[in-house]
Structure formats: structure tokens, C-alpha cells
Amino acid sequence: MRPDATDFRADINGLRAVAVLAVVLFHFGVAGFSGGFVGVDVFFVISGYLMTRIILAPLAEQRFSVLRFYLARARRIFPALAVLGALLLAYGWFKFSPMDYKTLAKHAGASLLFFSNQVYWKESGYFDADAHEKWLLHTWSLSVEWQFYLLYPLLIVAVHRLFRRPGGVAGALWAVFLASLAWSAWLAFANPSKAFFLLPTRAWEMLAGGLIYVHQGACNRLARGRGWLEPAGLAAILAASLLLTADTPWPGLAALLPVGGAMLVILDSGGRTRLLGSAAIQGIGRWSYSIYLWHWPVVVWLHQSQSQRDGAWIAAGMAASILLGWLSFRLVEIPARGFVSRFSLAPALAACAAMVLLPFAVAVVFHYQSERLMTLRFKDHPRLADVRALEVFQARYFNELYKPLYREGSCFMTPDKSHDGFAPECAGERTRIVLWGDSHAAHLWPGLKAAAEPGTAAQWTASGCPPLLNEEFAKRPHCRTINDWVLRKVMEARPQVLILAGAWVKHDEATIRRGLTETLARLRADPAWRPRIVLVGSVPAWRKPLPRLLASDFLGGDERQRSPNDLDRDMSRRDALVRQLAGAQAEFFSPISVACNDEGCLRYIEKDGARLPLAFDYGHLIEESSVMVVAALFRQLGEARPRQP
């Protein structure tokens, strides 16, 4: 993502601008750019081309140095990233709650040592925090690139010495390229998060650029006299930015569209460009690395200030990203390069290492000594004990408590499991009531278990799989199969009461409307069976994990049990949509009506002197709130327990 060629190429610099603008438009939620994330893939192609040229050209003259290669990369990457990390740590010290700051310190440390892609992959479970709670989420791509930079010259040097013939390096790169592409195509469906974040499934995109340089002569001949290649390549990138969505399996074979487009643009080593040569495009290309670094924190700030849907704020945020990128380029990147260039190899490497190791050390201290440091910051605060209790409570729920409560692994399937993972006990002994849906159905199970007669309730739920028949969910490849299987089991069991629940705020209205219409039609297809079908609307949902919100509010003096603050704007709209779709075919039950009133929504329950949050994340109920909600559902059904035959 940095201008880094030995000889400047205007076409590559302009392509950087296209890539960063696509990412910025996507992250700021500009309508139409649902696939703007492909800008990262374009950056990968550019990096692969330039790194291959920087390695092979001097290697052919026997003057390539791996350490000098590492120094050049570090000199470009480290300074701006270190400044961003340090400034965010300073900002967070004054603005974040202890829980949020501990997370920021963890992510800053991972970003500065370039393994944040591993951290974000491991955090990418269904109950993970919203992306807009992670100020350095975008650094996953820098980690992938740096890991590539560490390994790539070693691979090329080893192959060059082993084969010592012109085609040896090309053959090795083709082999790795094809293996990585095949792995990516499969894993994008089998394990989307792993495919997205890790180097083995991204390497082919960088090698695609590298293969252009390896075959530069043939590419130049192909490009000669074909001026349409550049506009065709840009059209492919634009088409990917407009047509692809976050639900597209990625990076699989679909990534060939933007990767191929980028290859067409840089195919000719002459660097001529007819479309990307304007001063504005070239300027954005030069600042693209810093723009990329700064734009995501601006997006997060807008989201947390609830301004992310205001057009004027979005425009201001994009302008601020470009301005901050320019300032970072002028005040950090250029001076830092000049400073490091004064030194010989060993001192220069030490200076670059110090740039990231110093803020990394600060991040480590803040993360592992967060309790002591926050005691100093909030000394004598009357609610500090409550804040610590919230942190412990949330950690326990994430790590252990929710799993037996939701029956994870037996009646609540994880993303990697299909219907064959359901245990026999999920069906109950005498099935009179069935719970069907995703985690927002599973979190009703503790309440259902308490309210229903033993053995009368069945639970068939799966992570990320709402009860929407005929719908595919890219990040949950087993959903359609699971839902079809559950429908068959329901038709066999013919329960008296069927409860359908889903995390409606996580899905668009068209998908919900289409899927629920199909589900209700199938359930009403048998005139001899007329169960009571209950559509459960949205639960109260917050913009960030509720325990973190409570921690911030308690420290800020807001101890209200009910509050309208920080609620997800979509929850009421989705609730109204599900109510509408229920119509005359099903009964509608709204958890919002149970937990919310004119004062706002219930945020915590007082029990034995403790304040228990209603949800342990953005909206998944704890055991006590599940019992409360299902008790209200049973009251609406007009019975203390399910009816007997």
C-alpha cells in the first residue's frame, strides 16, 4: 500500500488511488460500493509485482540482500503505523473504559508486531464484537503483507540457488500460486473467516502480481498496441466494487475479477496511463498508505458517535481521512524515511525496530497491567468495583457460561457443523414445543427450559442460521441444509407450539421477507396440522457489547437501569417487519415490548446486590433475562406451561 518501486510507475501509483478509494467508499457505507473491499486485493497484486521486481532484478546481478530488503519494507511501513498506534493508545487512555482500553491495547500490540490477522481470525466467532468496535481491524491486511515480505525473498533466493536456471523461479511461483488459489477457493466456503484473514489463502493474489514481472517480456508483447487493457482492467475492478457484497465467499474464485483487473492495468512495464495520470489521482496514490491507515479509525469514531448514517458526516469523514493521510505522509512517512536513510544497515534496522517495539511495549503493559493502571486512572471512583465485575462477568459468559446454557455443540450448532451434529436429546421426550433458529433462538432455551414441562421442548438451533428457508449465508455454508433438516423434523414431530427466532438486526429486510414468507408457507402447507407458530421479534440490541456500554456509563455517572442511549437503530424496524410478516399466519411476540418502555430499554437486572447486564454482548440474553423474556412469552400464549395433548 506504499509507493515502493525502484522506478516510479504512474499507472501503479494511480492504481493505488483506485484501490484506497474503493476501500474508503466501502467502509464509509457509500451506496453502491458493497464490494469496495476488493481494493485490498488490488493492493496485494501491486505489492506482489513490486516485491518480485525488487528481489529478482538485483538477484540476477548477484547484489540482492535480504536484510536490506527487510529494511526498505520497514522504513516504508513502520513509522506511520507506529504513530497511529501510539496516538490511539493516548486517545483511548482518556476516552475508553477499562474494558475497551484493554482490548485496544491487545489489538495495538498485535498490529505493531504484524500478527493482527491471526488475532482477528481467532476473534471472528459468532459472538465476536462488531467490527466497528475494533479501531485497528484494518491492520489485518498489513500483517498479511508483512508476513509475505518476510517469507517471499527467502523462497525466491532458495529456489534461485536450488535450480539455477531461468524457469526455476517461475515454476515455483506458479506452483505456489495455484496451490494457494485452490486452497482459497475451497476454504472460502469451508471456513470463510480463516480464508479471509490468513496468508496461505491470500498469497495467490500477491503472486499474481509477481508472475507478471516473471513473464514481463511476454506481458509487454501482449500489451503492445492494446490500449483497451487499462480501461478493461479498471472496469473489472469497478464491477467487483459494485456487484460483490460482504456475503460473497472471499477470497475465492470471485476474487479473480478484481485481481485480473489489477493485472491488466499493470501489465505493461512502460507504466503509461491514460486514465490515472491526473494530479489528484497521483496525489491520492502517493498518500494511499496513510489514507488507508487513518480512514478506519475515522469510520469507527463516526459509528460510535452515531453519525455513520448522516450524509454530511460521511462526506466529512472521507475528507478527513484524505487530509489525515496527507498529513501523515508529509509529517511522518517522508521525515522518517530520511531519518532512517542516514544510518548504515544495522543501526537503521535497529531504528526501525524501535519504532514499533516502543509502542508495542506500552501496549503490552497497558493490556497485562490494565487493572493496576485503571485503578490509578479511576482512583476512588465509587463504581470501579461494578466495572470490574462487569468485565469478569462478560469474560465468564464468553469463555464458559453461554455454552452449556445454549447447549452449544449438541443442540446449538457451531458454524463448522451441519445437521448431523444435533444430539438425540435435542428432540425432547414428548415434543410439544419446538425452538428453531439461530443464536437468538438458542438464548431463549434457558427460559424455555425453566417454563416448559420437562421433556416437552425440542431445540434445533445453529449459529448464524435464522429460520429462513431457501436462503444461503456465505459465512454459514451449512444453514440451508440445517434449515431443510429442521423443517423435516418439525413436520415429523408435529408440535403444538413452534417458536421461530433470529438475529433479525444482522440481516437485510429483503432476505427476512423472502425467507420468512417461504418458511410460513411451508409450515402452513398441511391443512391437517395447525400448530401455534410464534414469530419472535428482535431483542433489544445495542451498538456495542452492553457490558462495555455499562462500564463507560457507570464511570461517567450514568447509572440508569433503563436508557434509550446507544440502541441499534435497526432493531425497531426489524421488529415491525417481523410483526408485519406474521400477519394472520402466525402469532407475534416482541421481546422489545418486554424489556423496553418510554424510558428506554432495560440494561441490567439487580440480583443479590449485583448488576447483571441484560445481554453479555450486543444482544444475546443471559440466563436471567432469558427466563424473564420466555415467561412473558408464555403469558402471552395464555398458559403457564405448554398444553398437553
Tell me the pLDDT tens digit for each residue of 495-512.
999 999 999 999 989 999
Q: Based on the number of CB atoms within 10 Å of its own CB, is 601 exposed (0-12), middle (13-18) or buried (19 or more)? A: buried
Reply yes or no on whether the pLDDT at 586 is more than 90.
Answer: yes
Q: What is the pLDDT of residue 463?
A: 93
Q: What angle do CA 89, 316, 278 make, to 5 degrees?
A: 105
Q: What is the pLDDT of residue 173?
A: 96
**Is residue 308 very low, low, confident or very high in pLDDT (cuts 50, 70, 90)?**
low
What is the residue-wise DSSP string for 212-249?
HHHTHHHHHHHHTT-TTHHHHHHHHHHHHHHH--TTS-
Interval 327-343 mean pLDDT:
95
Tell me the pLDDT tens digit for each residue of 18-41.
999 999 999 999 999 999 999 999
Reply yes or no on whether the pLDDT at 609 is more than 70.
Answer: yes
Reply yes or no on whether the pLDDT at 601 is more than 60.
Answer: yes
Distances from the Cα of 335 to the Cα of 187, 325, 338, angstroms: 42, 14, 5
Reply yes or no on whether the pLDDT at 148 is more than 80.
Answer: yes
Q: What is the pLDDT of residue 271?
A: 86
CB 246 within 8 A of CB 191: no
Rounded Cα distance between 335 and 331, Å, is 6
Tell me the pLDDT tens digit for each residue of 25-83.
999 999 999 999 999 999 999 999 999 999 999 998 889 999 999 999 999 999 999 99
Tell me the pLDDT tens digit for each residue of 532-571.
999 999 999 998 899 999 998 998 889 999 999 889 888 9
Question: Dihedral, CA atoms, 56, 60, 61, 65, nearest 10 degrees?
Answer: 40
Interval 372-391 mean pLDDT:
81
Region of poorest pLDDT, from 124-128, 307-311, 465-469: 124-128
SS3 597: strand
**Is residue 98 very low, low, confident or very high in pLDDT (cuts 50, 70, 90)?**
confident
**Is residue 129 very low, low, confident or very high in pLDDT (cuts 50, 70, 90)?**
low
Please tell me what DSSP assigns to residue 369: T
**Is residue 125 very low, low, confident or very high in pLDDT (cuts 50, 70, 90)?**
low
Tell me the pLDDT tens digit for each residue of 569-581.
889 999 999 999 9
Q: What is the pLDDT of residue 5?
A: 42
Query: Which pTM value belongs to this model?
Result: 0.86
Q: What is the pLDDT of residue 475?
A: 79
The CATH number corresponding to 384-637 among 3.40.50.2300, 3.30.1490.390, 3.40.190.150, 3.40.50.1110 equals: 3.40.50.1110
> Closest by alpha carbon to 613, among 565, 562, 564, 571?
562
Interval 420-448 mean pLDDT:
94
Average pLDDT of the residues of the chain: 91
At 159, the amino acid letter reads V
Interval 610-617 mean pLDDT:
92
Q: What is the pLDDT of residue 642?
A: 43
**Is residue 383 very low, low, confident or very high in pLDDT (cuts 50, 70, 90)?**
confident
Q: What is the pLDDT of residue 547?
A: 93
In sequence order, which ranges of 583-622 are alpha helices (DSSP H)? 591-595
Among all chains, which residue has been given the C-alpha cell 483511548?
Answer: 92
Reply yes or no on whether the pLDDT at 628 is more than 80.
Answer: yes
Interval 590-608 mean pLDDT:
93
Among all chains, which residue has been given the C-alpha cell 476512588?
Answer: 380
Domain ranges for the chain, please list them.
Answer: 10-373, 384-637
Q: What is the pLDDT of residue 465?
A: 95
Among all chains, which residue has been given the C-alpha cell 524515511?
Answer: 337
**Is residue 201 very low, low, confident or very high in pLDDT (cuts 50, 70, 90)?**
very high
Interval 364-369 mean pLDDT:
85
CB 290 within 8 A of CB 328: yes
Q: What is the pLDDT of residue 270?
A: 86
